[in-house]
Amino acid sequence: MIPHIPLGQWVSDLIDWLLDTVPWLFDAVSAVMQVLVNGLTDALVSPPPVLWIVVFAALALLLRGPWLALYTVLAFLLVVSLELWVETMQTLALVLVAAVIATAVAVPIGILAARHRAVSVIVRPVLDFMQTTPVFVYLIPAVFFFGVGVVPGVVATILFAIPPGVRLTELGIRQVDREVVEAAQAFGARPGQVLREVQLPLALPSIMAGVNQVIMLALSMVVTAGLLGAAGLGAVVVRAVTQLDVGSGFEGGLAVVLLAVFLDRLTAAFGHPTALSRLVRARGRRVPSGAATAAREPASVGERQPA
């Protein structure tokens, strides 16, 4: 006979123990998340929608081009006319906070995994576990630790969104041309310099693809977060489901899709050479030594054309 292993019991004991031992930790995390999400929501909701629509369109124009700008204006005007602007902005705030935190956690882990084989070996199965665990399983400990509301939603979203960020960061750094790394080392660069001056810049497109994935996954968690009582489009959809209200369910779902397309196209542009080189160039101009270079450089035609 195979003895019963009380694995579930152990996990729930562990959670109880954590709650008893470091309750202040969860309170602190909860408070910080609350402040971040609420602050961002207020900033997005307080001014008239037109202001933010103009800002979003300007971003789209700068990073991607006129078509995305046009889409942005139309999509957000539609959202306003559906009277879902506030919910959409609440969702955007949740997604942005979760994505920023997830990226802040994922990129350093990805860097470590790329530099140290041991870290990679440990991290990989953990990521597999995180990606294959059903989404709702995240929700249970999140609710235990943080109750209901927006915070457990953000926490679950962060956990769910981290894996692609880690994977694509590690992959990006590993794919950097070995000779270029060697060249930096051969001229006496310190490991930190090699990372900053060679590996990260060259891995940036891949890292940005990771960030894009992080944002999309975060968005896909919105409805789930709505189940936990987080305000926003998720709540709209959940309410529609419980009330069997097909019309408002469709409207809520459409708003999610419109937001998703906007975020995806916008952030995909980060990994794109055009946007990338513009950002790099803009940064270079601020450095005094680069100023003369940028000014003397007539066109750099090759760079502007997408490779």
Partner 1 sequence: MPPVLGVSGLTKVFGAREQEALRLAGEGLGRDEILRRTGATLAVHDVSFAVERGELFVVMGLSGSGKSTLVRLLNRLIEPSAGTVEVEGRDLRALDDAQLRAVRNEKISMVFQHFALMPHRTVRENAAYALKVRGASAAEQRERADWALETVGLLERAGARPAELSGGMRQRVGLARALAADSEVLLMDEPFSALDPLIRRDMQDLLEQLQSELSKTIVFITHDLNEAMRLGDRILMLKDGRPVQLGTGPEIISAPADDYVADFTSDVDRTRVLTAGDLLREPRLTARLGDAPGDVLRALGVAEANGAYVLGEDGRVAGVARDDLLARALQEGRSALGPRELVPDYATIGADRPVVEFVHLVGRHAVPLGVVDDDGRLLGVVPRAAVLDALSAVPVRGRRS
- Which spans of this chain sit near partner 1 (rule: CB under 8 A)? 177, 179-180, 182-190, 193, 197-198, 201-202, 280, 288-290, 293, 296-297, 300-303, 307
We find the least distance from the C-beta atom of residue 116 to partner 1, in angstroms, to be 17
Rounded distance between C-alpha atoms, residue 217 and residue 232, angstroms: 16
> What phi, psi does 116 have (nearest 5°)?
-125, 120
Q: How far is the C-alpha of 197 from the C-alpha of 176, rounded, in Å? A: 12
Please say which residue, 2 or 307, places its beta carbon nearer to partner 1. 307
Q: How many angstroms separate the Cα of 10 from the Cα of each of 6, 54, 143, 213?
A: 6, 52, 18, 33
DSSP code for 232: S
Q: Please state the closest distance from residue 274 (CB atom) to partner 1, in A.
A: 14
CB of residue 61 to partner 1, shortest distance in Å: 24
Cα–Cα distance measured from residue 113 to residue 106, given in angstroms and rounded to the nearest whole number: 10
Least distance between partner 1 and beta carbon 11 (Å) = 38
Residue closer to partner 1 by CB (options 26, 270) is 270
Cβ nearer to partner 1, comparing 176 with 237: 176
At its nearest, how many Å lie between partner 1 and the CB of residue 147? 46
Percent of the chain that is helix, strand, coil (3-state, to 5): 85, 0, 15
Assigned token pair, 192: 């930190």
Query: Which is nearer to partner 1, 29 or 204 (by Cβ)?
Result: 204
> By C-beta, is 5 or 307 nearer to partner 1?
307
